[in-house]
Amino acid sequence: MQSEVQICVVGKVFRPKVLALNKTFNEYFKLVKWYLSCNSKSKKFLHEKCYEDAKRLFNLNTALIQTARDKAVEILKSF
């Protein structure tokens, strides 16, 4: 199960910030895949069992960790 994802960034992104933005995108998508590997459709379960590990393993702020969890749950629910 692999598909292509396109992202649209609205506004100007200055050259020095492009690298940081790309690193954040890569880390975010790794986290979504990591949550998908847990194979759970429950946000509560993922929060209780995986949130602390996600904070430790991935260099993202808590809002991005939560949205990655929610995105993984929505992907699993769509199948």
Query: 4 in a domain, yes or no?
Result: no
Query: 2 in a domain, yes or no?
Result: no
Query: 6 in a domain, yes or no?
Result: no
Domain span at 55? 15-77
Whole-model pTM over 0.85: no
- CA end-to-end span of the chain, whole Å? 11
Tally of structural domains, the chain: 1
Query: 5 in a domain, yes or no?
Result: no
Q: What is the pLDDT along the chain (79 residues), one digit of tens a residue?
A: 566 767 777 777 777 788 888 999 999 999 999 999 999 999 999 999 999 999 999 999 999 999 999 999 999 999 8
Query: 7 in a domain, yes or no?
Result: no
